[in-house]
């Protein structure tokens, strides 16, 4: 009589797929190859895990990011050893800098060949060690289940981030009893979730004593989904707030207390809210140089409360008066509990000052610049016609900044961009991943002609896998942000930024060749017409090319290496701070 209590014998490849099913993976973006090939046989037979065959491994990593950012779940990408694995590196680095939970699974040459410069061998664990939250090299079939369970736990808990699981080919093909670990064995990994009550009380005291407080809201609020708690904190305190590039949508832009996005290309009111504050209540932000400008001139009169789940961020760039380590959802809820019903300061003069800045320096995009479309107007119309429920992924550059200013940020979790790494080529695959995670939702990708030419081949993946995303290509025929810097700081010497994208490639024809619908707009009248057409098409991807003026610039701007006080609202034109009464 057979002993039914014995663990079933599985190959490492079978154990990998069963483990992925057990942690709830429903989709993997990847490409097979020699070392990972054994895993693809049982993966192809899985009824729970959908594999989407991308056209480039970088696309797989960004798609996993887009899926994770849209759903809040852990995204998964897979590649073979050597170049397959190294092609994931950009996406892994991107996920690391933006705290996106993904697990990258790579095949490795046989354990006996590791270190011999075998065909398609690369030390991907060593390569990615500085840009992953953790990494595993698995050389035995019996170790695969625990590695997968631990990888998903690490990626999705504490400060989220990428985890690599590199599995040797002999581990995939050999067999071992499958044992699913009931407990995690992760000594030393214990993220601090609950904030310390004493620090919460100290923070509350500082808030009550402040006269010009500002809520400096970062992407951590999005990661912890602390939206309701943040809204209540604002309601209780009536303190003005700013949302960083990674936190757009965490709080409605339409609220009078929202002063916009701070930073190099931030709103004047948001930059002023930080620079002239006497207390920064920093929630899940990291004092990035794109926000602080010249660090020693940043918010010179402000004390700092810094709340973050990652203790390594506390005091890293800016000294802190009250540090709070913990999950932001719990931290803000605890602050609300202490502040609710308390007598707070009178911040009315501070609010009036910032509101005046917000009104005076509000963006007013015109439909055209010269005789060509203005990119700001195009992006604004996409947002107005698509609404705040849509999901928006963007590339990197001028169009990213215009999108951050002009899209309708009224709801959380609908904004995907590469904030830390600034990765061109992010948009199309990230939009693809978001649409896979949210198949019933409208997903736009807003890309530049430079970014689009890096990863547009994933439109083939979308067309073949029924992923009907919509991509707007803002074609200014150049690497726009670099050209802007050449205009302002290099005497208009445009060295290697002209892409000559006027009809080469022909973007609508390129889209058609990849199974998408291709549209183009060159006049104001055509803008609404092509957006409306794109919104009507839901059975295929759509690419809409907008021909825009190449010398449109992103304003406001804090030139690199200067103080936020030197913010410009146009070339050689600064806000007149002295006109404002504080």
d(CA 99, CA 57): 20
**Could you tell me the CA-to-CA distances from 108 to 58, 78, 117, 266, 321 in Å, in that order?**
18, 12, 12, 44, 47
Neighbours of 296 (CB within 10 A): 9
- Report the SS3 class of residue 289: helix
| Cα separation of the two ends of the chain | 86
- Exactly one of 119, 235, 316, 384 is catalytic; name it: 119
d(CA 67, CA 188): 29
- Exactly one of 149, 169, 369, 380 is catalytic; name it: 169
User: What's the half-sphere exposure (Cβ side, CA atoms, 13 Å) at 222?
Assistant: 32
Q: Which residue has the tokens 């400008």?
A: 293
- Exactly one of 120, 294, 522, 526 is catalytic; name it: 120
With contact defined as beta carbons under 8 Å apart, do 400 and 263 qualify?
Answer: no
Identify any residues that bridge with 29 across adjacent strands, giving them in sequence order. Answer: 52, 77
Catalytic status, residue 275? no
Cα-based angle 403, 407, 411 (whole degrees, multiple of 5): 125
d(CA 397, CA 270): 20
Peptide bond into 556 cis (omega under 30): yes
Catalytic status, residue 169? yes
With contact defined as beta carbons under 8 Å apart, do 238 and 257 qualify?
Answer: yes
Residues 6+ apart with CB under 8 A from 397: 424, 448, 450, 451, 479, 480, 481
d(CA 231, CA 218): 14
- Exactly one of 259, 264, 416, 481 is catalytic; name it: 481
Catalytic status, residue 120? yes
Q: Which of 91, 114, 105, 87 is nearest to 40 (CA)?
A: 105
Cα-based angle 139, 118, 133 (whole degrees, multiple of 5): 45
Catalytic status, residue 57? yes
With contact defined as beta carbons under 8 Å apart, do 280 and 303 qualify?
Answer: yes
Catalytic status, residue 424? no
With contact defined as beta carbons under 8 Å apart, do 332 and 229 qualify?
Answer: yes
With contact defined as beta carbons under 8 Å apart, do 67 and 59 qualify?
Answer: no
- Exactly one of 18, 29, 57, 484 is catalytic; name it: 57
Residues forming the active site: 57, 119-120, 169, 481
């Amino acid at each position: 009589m057979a002993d039914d209590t014995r663990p079933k014998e599985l190959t490492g490849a079978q154990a990998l797929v069963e483990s992925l099913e057990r942690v709830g993976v429903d989709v993997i973006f990847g490409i097979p190859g020699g070392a990972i090939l054994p895993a693809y046989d049982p993966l192809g037979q899985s009824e729970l895990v959908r594999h989407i065959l991308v056209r480039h491994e970088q696309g797989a990593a960004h798609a996993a990011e887009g899926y994770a950012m849209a759903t809040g779940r852990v995204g998964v990408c897979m590649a073979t050893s050597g170049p397959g694995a190294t092609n994931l590196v950009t996406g892994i680095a991107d996920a690391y800098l933006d705290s996106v939970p993904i697990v990258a699974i790579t095949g490795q040459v046989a354990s006996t060949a590791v270190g011999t410069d075998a065909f398609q061998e690369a030390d991907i664990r060593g390569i990615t060690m500085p840009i992953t939250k953790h990494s595993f090299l698995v050389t035995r079939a019996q170790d695969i289940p625990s590695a997968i369970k631990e990888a998903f736990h690490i990626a999705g808990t504490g400060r989220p981030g990428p985890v690599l699981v590199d599995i040797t080919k002999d581990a995939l093909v050999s067999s071992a009893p499958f044992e699913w670990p009931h407990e995690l064995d992760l000594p030393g990994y214990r993220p601090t979730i609950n904030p310390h009550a004493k620090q919460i009380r100290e923070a509350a005291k500082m808030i009550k004593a402040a006269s010009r407080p500002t809520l400096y809201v970062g992407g951590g609020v999005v990661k912890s989904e602390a939206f309701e708690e943040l809204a209540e904190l604002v309601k209780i305190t009536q303190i003005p707030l700013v949302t960083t590039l990674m936190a757009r949508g965490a709080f409605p832009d339409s609220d009078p207390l929202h002063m916009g996005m701070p930073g190099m290309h931030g709103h004047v009111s948001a930059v002023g809210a930080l620079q002239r504050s006497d207390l920064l209540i920093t929630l899940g932000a990291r004092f990035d140089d794109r926000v602080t400008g010249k660090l020693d001139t940043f918010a010179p009169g402000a004390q700092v409360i810094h709340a973050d789940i990652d203790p390594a961020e506390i005091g890293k760039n800016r000294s802190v008066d009250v540090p709070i380590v913990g999950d932001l959802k719990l931290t803000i809820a605890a602050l609300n509990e202490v502040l609710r019903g308390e007598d707070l300061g009178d911040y009315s003069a501070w609010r009036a000052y910032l509101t005046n800045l917000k009104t005076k320096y509000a963006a007013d995009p015109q439909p055209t610049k010269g005789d060509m479309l203005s990119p700001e107007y195009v992006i604004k119309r996409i947002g107005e016609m698509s609404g705040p429920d849509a999901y928006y992924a963007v590339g990197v550059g001028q169009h990213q900044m215009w999108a951050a200013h002009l899209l309708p940020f009224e709801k959380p979790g609908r904004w995907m961009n590469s904030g830390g790494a600034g990765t061109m080529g992010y948009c199309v695959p990230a939009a693809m991943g978001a649409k896979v995670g949210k198949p019933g939702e409208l997903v736009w990708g807003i890309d530049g002609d430079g970014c689009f030419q890096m990863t547009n081949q994933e439109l083939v993946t979308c067309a073949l896998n029924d992923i009907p995303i919509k991509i707007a290509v803002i074609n200014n025929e150049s690497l726009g942000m670099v050209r802007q810097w050449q205009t302002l700081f290099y005497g208009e010497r445009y060295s290697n930024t002209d892409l000559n994208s006027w009809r080469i490639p022909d973007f609508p024809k390129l889209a058609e060749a990849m199974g998408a619908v291709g549209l183009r707009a060159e006049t104001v009248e055509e803008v609404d017409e092509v957006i409306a057409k794109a919104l009507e098409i839901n059975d295929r991807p759509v690419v809409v090319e907008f021909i825009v003026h190449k010398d449109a610039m992103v304003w406001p701007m804090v030139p690199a290496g200067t103080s936020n006080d030197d913010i410009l609202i146009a070339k050689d034109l600064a806000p007149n701070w002295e006109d404002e009464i504080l």
